[in-house]
Each structure stands twice: as structure tokens, then as C-alpha cells.
Amino acid sequence: MRIHLSSVFVDDQDKALRFYTEVLGFVKKTEVPIGEDRWLTVVSPEAPDGTELLLEPAGHPAVKPYRDALAKDGIPATAFAVDDVHAEFDRLRGLGVRFTQEPLEMGPVTTAVLDDTCGNLIQIVHQA
Amino acid sequence: MADDIFKALADPTRRKILDELTEQRGQTLFEICARLSMKHQLGISRQAVSQHLAVLEAAGLVESRREGRYKFHDLNTAPLKRIAERWTMPDESESTP
């Protein structure tokens, strides 16, 4: 068994697609209209057949209190692996991305936490 | 107020939290928990860390601020200065070289 799909709730699918592709650097994999929304997934260009990330509409009434509570305490919705957290931090901050946790070396891992502008915090991580 | 400070400082986990806030200001609860678990191998729950922070806040040693959707914690050392001042010897300033 492998992880095929993970999802994040997003306020606005168009805005999310722009952030996840143009800023973070993922590529769009599937886009299927479903009513007013779309089944919209992105993948890493480094692993086009790897785990897909579903940009899922945040319309369900349970989503807002759930995400607000996570955001308040700084808890990421999910984590992405990068080669170098410090380099990504510099690159993304240069693009105006807001971080709630600057790069932090903790033994074998280095992490940072950013705001995806769609309602979520995202952790980036690399192993030393 | 003074008793709150001593109670807050009496716990080793709370002293670790203050150590970490000295290193980096403006930490979220998540970052504080990550530092305690990864740097100090303290496997305590977020709820427990949250309670420790509440004790530190009541003593005035930690201040929290909301920025948009986020809550950040900062160290405030002012109460510690009041402890030092409380037991200052009258002639201490004269004997200091």
C-alpha cells in the first residue's frame, strides 16, 4: 500500500492553483469539473507519478473552525520535503511568502512553516 | 504576583520553554512543542505545553500576541528584574568596581 493522495482545504481553487504551482513549484495533474468546484490535483515535477495533492474546496462548515484552531497554534496541515529548508526559506520569502516558523534545526531534521495564503500552514522539511 | 513567578520557575519544563524563547522570539505553540520534543526529548502533549505556557503567562514571563490568524509567544524578563531588585543589598552599588 502507498499513499496515493493527500488533500488540503483551500479557500479558492484558482488562487490555490496559482500559489501551489507558481510559488511552491508543483504542476497541475488533474482538473475535472464537479458542480461548481473541480477535482483539482497537483504533483511534484520531481515525481509526476507520485502522491497527488488535492486542492479541496473549504466550503464544509466544519472546515473553518478546524483550520482556525490549527492556524492559531501554528500547526501545519501537511508537510513537503525539500532539499534545503534554508534555501527554500530564502527563495519563498523573496516571493513574499509569510513564515510562522523560521528554519529550525532539530537534530536530524530542519523544518520551517509557511502560510499557503489559502487558509493553511505548510511545513517544509529536509533530513540532514 | 511574586509567588506566581517562583511557581512558574520551579518547573524544569517551563525553564526549558524560557530557554527556547530566549533563542527565538515569536514562537507558535507548534514551534515550542517541536523544540521541546526534538531538542530536549521531552515527549509531552500539546495540551500540557499549553498549560505550562498559561502558567508562564500568568507570571508575566511570557506574553502572547495575535497576529492575524496566528498566536505568537514572547519572553518577558521584566518580572525577573523585580526578583533581583527585591534582594538588592543597600551597599551593593558602592562595592561594584
Is a pLDDT exceeding 90 seen at residue A90? yes
> Residues A11-19: what's their mean pLDDT?
97
Angle at A79 between CA B20 and CA B22, to 5 degrees: 10
- Phi, psi (deg, nearest 5) at residue A119: 110, 0
Which pLDDT belongs to residue B95? 55
> Which amino acid, residue B55?
V
Instruction: Name the region of B25 (left: φ>0; alpha: ψ -120 to 50; beta: rest).
Output: beta
- Tell me what the pLDDT averaged over chain A comes to: 96
In this structure, are residues B74 and B63 in contact, taking their beta carbons and an 8 Å threshold? yes
Is a pLDDT exceeding 90 seen at residue A63? yes
Is domain A5-127 in CATH 2.60.40.1120, yes or no?
A: no
Which pLDDT belongs to residue A42? 98
Task: Compare CB distances from A73 to B28, B38, B39 and report the shortest one's residue.
Answer: B28
Which pLDDT belongs to residue B89? 77
> Residues A30-44: what's their mean pLDDT?
96
Q: Provide the residue count of chain A.
A: 128
> Residues A17-40: what's their mean pLDDT?
96
- Residues in chain A with CB shorter than 8 Å from the CB of B70 are 71-72, 74, 100
Q: Binning pLDDT at 50, 70 and 90, where does residue A23 land?
A: very high
* pTM for the predicted model, two decimal places: 0.90
**Does ipTM top 0.85?**
yes
Under-50 pLDDT residues of chain B: none
Which pLDDT belongs to residue B93? 58
- The least confident of A13-17, A71-75, A87-91, B1-5 is B1-5
Q: Compute CA distances A113 → A30, A47, A103, A120, B89, whole Å.
A: 27, 22, 8, 10, 47
- Minimal CA separation from A32 to chain B, in Å: 32
In this structure, are residues B8 and B59 in contact, taking their beta carbons and an 8 Å threshold? yes
DSSP 3-state of A12: coil
- Minimal CA separation from A25 to chain B, in Å: 25
